[in-house]
């Protein structure tokens, strides 16, 4: 935003990283929102920190890597150099950090009123202090691994996100040394309860920090603090591929390598001489601009333990909601024949994932089923999907599974699942060179006499029973044979290490999604230029693809009405006169993670609606295998259109993006429209009606 002759002018584009930080600010707002129950606000506080950790591990790490490969490269929307982005990130994170600290302490005061208190030594009496001294000597000190740094004892390797107590140790000779004690080795509880004071706890790292004089006996502790480092986790697995290893073993090596990557952030907790902190940062070779002081704990995961202690008080949590039976299925009857009869649809977490799982188990045992093909990206810990695929293979079905071993931070789990599937006799492949397979696609093939028939499932979310209760996702199950035949071609090309070059029904990245979306936007532009009503409705997690952004700007200029629900990153500023004035963008951050992707083009008889796995990010549209499907069934089309319109009407959790890049809550008017709550109420009503 800038001014010229008294007129405010707005930038059309937003930097990706700064937009992401705005998203995490909305998560922090949920921790501050007193309309949310107290313990749910603790959850949002923890999510805020976890999100920020991953941001540094992946995005900041990636920008650092870019600077090593190129001479201060620029990103393609705001033309910010890598160093300018890092500087802007640092300033924004510091601003948000101050706000986060205040919010945390405000939350903990309210938690105190519920009988749970986190204390430090200044708040303890002599008797409690003596107990902790004895507890430390017996239970903690024998399990610590302190290190003093000297010429013969080099600076130790510190794990990613590991909390350490550090101290400047004064010797009798006047030569100072550094002392380091890792604090979260997993051998003792993070929360230590004070005896005789039920509900009063001290964090283990605070206890260790207090008793550092005992840990480093013989030294004088000149300065001490708690620190935590965040390491770069952004590894291009294909660039470091070792042809001597099979791909699964290679990914196991990548996981080990990630644990040792360069630190990109240092956090600390005490007011100490900044030269000391910079010296610590030098040991880690961390940029001095990526050092952050915090007045809140360095790791918020203990907040979940506090929530468990308060679980008895239902007023501190959201009202219990359970996924309901879908009215589109009669679960007293077999599922597969119902799908052959009519397209079916599930909406998570409002409806139960059970019909989909039942469909897989029926397919595993149906004598007419000859094969099941599936792409897997992220799975639940005890996956019932894997159970069904193993059952199918053991029953003699051909089971082809593409397991994406490069699903970030889920690589280790997926390696384990791939071994289990292979042991059961499934054919397992690991994706394509240079392309992640992110699609949510399942194809069941039947041989009925001389006929081959298909049932296809295409969704927006992972085959994960846990996230199906937490994320809003949708999926189509169809016996449309044209869609099935095209899905079969997708699996054939993947098995051959190739990609789809042409499609008629499905949108399949990297070659047949972005270009088709651009063509559909062009159609709406032409309709508007011809005097008709051009319309585009989009619901995605993120918008960064500049080709699509520029085409949306052109559509706005042509008079096309554009409505978008974008939960996270958005690199386009709407509402700018003469540029994006016909674009409205909202973000919904609420109880459930908005994750479904919907693309709507046109209105009335020419309306097209798609659901799929791809956000409008370059990594999705041209660097991954993604699949979106058209919705042909009138009832399902209406359901999806109504869901989208409901979210655009949300005035409870929706925030509207302004031309200046800021988000403000949609003005609350009666009646309150909380889209997520309304969809759950509808699911309960439909379930009861179908009984």
Q: Cite the active site residues.
A: 438
Longest dimension (CA), the chain: 91
Contact 364, 372 (CB under 8 A): yes
H/E/C letters for each residue in 120-156?
A: CHHHCCHHHHHHHHHHHHHHHHHHCCCEEECCCCCCC
Could you give the CA distance from residue 483 to residue 188 in angstroms, rounded to a whole number? 55
Strand order in the sheet with 200-203: 117-118, 200-203, 191-193
Task: State the Cα angle at 668 between 109 and 96, rounded to 5°.
Answer: 45
Q: For residue 443, what are its two tokens? A: 């194809």
Task: Give the separation between CA 654 and CA 663, rounded to whole angstroms.
Answer: 9
Query: Pairing between strand 598-601 and 441-448?
Result: unpaired
For residue 580, what are the CA distances in angstroms to 4, 95, 556, 572, 585? Answer: 19, 29, 5, 9, 11
In sequence order, which residues have a C-beta less than 8 Å from that of residue 620 and are 6 or more positions away?
438, 509, 545, 613, 614, 626
The CA R_g of the chain, rounded to the nearest whole Å, is: 27
Structural tokens at position 529: 């230029």
The CA distance from 313 to 372, in Å, is 46
- Contact at 8 Å (CB) between 181 and 212? yes
Strands 624-630 and 441-448, by their bridges, are unpaired
Count of CB atoms within 10 A of residue 150's CB? 11
CA end-to-end span of the chain: 56
- Separation in Å, CA 266 to CA 28, 95, 158, 293, 583: 21, 16, 12, 9, 40
Q: State the Cα–Cα distance between residues 356 and 346, nearest whole angstrom.
A: 9
Q: Residue 620 has which token pair?
A: 């999705």
- In whole angstroms, what is the distance from residue 43 CA to residue 111 CA? 13
């Amino acid at each position: 935003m800038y001014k010229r002759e008294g007129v405010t002018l707005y930038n059309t584009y937003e930097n990706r990283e700064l937009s992401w930080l705005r998203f995490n600010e909305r998560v922090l707002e949920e921790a501050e929102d007193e309309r949310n129950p107290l313990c749910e606000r603790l959850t949002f506080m923890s999510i805020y920190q976890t999100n920020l950790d991953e941001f540094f591990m992946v995005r900041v790490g990636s920008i650092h890597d870019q600077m090593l490969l190129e001479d201060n490269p620029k990103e393609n929307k705001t033309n910010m150099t890598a160093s300018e982005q890092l500087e802007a990130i640092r300033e924004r994170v510091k601003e948000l950090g101050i706000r986060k600290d205040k919010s945390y302490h405000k939350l903990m005061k309210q938690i105190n009123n519920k009988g749970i208190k986190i204390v430090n030594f200044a708040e303890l009496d002599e008797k409690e202090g003596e107990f902790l001294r004895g507890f430390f000597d017996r239970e903690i000190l024998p399990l610590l691994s302190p290190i003093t740094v000297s010429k013969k004892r080099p600076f130790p390797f510190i794990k990613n996100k590991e909390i350490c107590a550090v101290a400047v140790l004064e010797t009798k000779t006047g030569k100072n040394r550094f002392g380091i004690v890792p604090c979260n080795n997993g051998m003792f509880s993070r929360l230590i309860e004070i005896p005789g004071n039920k509900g009063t706890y001290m964090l283990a790292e605070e206890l260790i920090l207090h008793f550092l004089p005992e840990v480093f006996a013989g030294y004088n502790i000149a300065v001490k603090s708690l620190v935590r480092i965040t390491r770069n986790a952004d590894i291009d697995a294909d660039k470091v591929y070792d042809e001597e290893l099979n791909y699964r073993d290679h990914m196991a090596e990548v996981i080990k390598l990630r644990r040792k990557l360069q630190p990109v952030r240092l956090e600390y907790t005490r007011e100490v001489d900044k030269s000391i902190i910079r010296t610590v940062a030098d040991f880690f070779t961390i940029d001095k601009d990526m050092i952050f002081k915090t007045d809140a704990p360095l790791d918020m995961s203990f907040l979940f333990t506090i929530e468990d202690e308060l679980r008895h008080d239902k007023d501190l949590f959201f009202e219990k909601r359970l996924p309901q039976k879908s009215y589109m299925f009669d679960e007293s009857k077999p599922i597969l024949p119902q799908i052959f009869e009519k397209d079916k649809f599930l909406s998570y977490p409002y409806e139960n994932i059970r019909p989909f799982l039942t469909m897989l188990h029926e397919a595993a045992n149906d004598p007419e089923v000859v094969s099941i093909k599936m792409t897997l990206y992220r799975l639940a810990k005890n996956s019932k999907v894997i159970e069904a695929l193993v059952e199918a293979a053991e029953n003699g079905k051909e089971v082809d599974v593409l397991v994406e071993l490069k699903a970030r931070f889920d690589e280790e789990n997926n390696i384990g699942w791939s071994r289990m599937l292979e042991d059961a006799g499934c054919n397992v492949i690991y994706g394509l060179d240079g392309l992640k397979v992110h699609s949510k696609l399942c194809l069941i093939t039947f041989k009925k006499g001389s006929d081959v028939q298909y049932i296809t499932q295409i969704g927006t979310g992972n085959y994960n029973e846990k996230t199906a209760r937490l994320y809003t996702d949708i999926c189509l199950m169809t016996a449309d044979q044209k869609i099935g035949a095209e899905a079969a071609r997708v699996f054939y090309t993947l098995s051959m290490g190739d990609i789809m070059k042409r499609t008629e029904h499905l949108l399949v990245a990297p070659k047949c999604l972005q270009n088709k979306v651009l063509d559909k936007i062009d159609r709406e532009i032409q309709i508007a230029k011809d005097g008709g009503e051009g319309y585009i409705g989009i619901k995605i997690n993120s918008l960064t693809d500049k080709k699509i952004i520029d085409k949306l700007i052109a559509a706005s200029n042509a008079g096309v009405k554009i409505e978008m629900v974008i939960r996270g990153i958005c690199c386009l500023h709407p509402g700018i006169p003469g540029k994006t004035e016909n674009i409205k963008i909202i973000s919904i951050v609420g109880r459930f993670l908005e994750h479904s992707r919907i693309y709507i083009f046109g209105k009335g008889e020419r309306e097209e609606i798609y659901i799929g796995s791809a956000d409008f990010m370059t990594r999705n549209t041209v660097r991954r295998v993604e699949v979106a499907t058209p919705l042909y069934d009138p009832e399902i089309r209406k359901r999806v259109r109504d869901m989208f319109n409901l979210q655009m009407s949300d005035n409870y959790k929706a925030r509207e993006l302004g031309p200046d890049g800021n988000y403000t809550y949609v003005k609350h008017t009666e009646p309150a429209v909380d889209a997520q709550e309304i969809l759950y109420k509808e699911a309960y009503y439909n379930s009861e009606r179908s009984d």
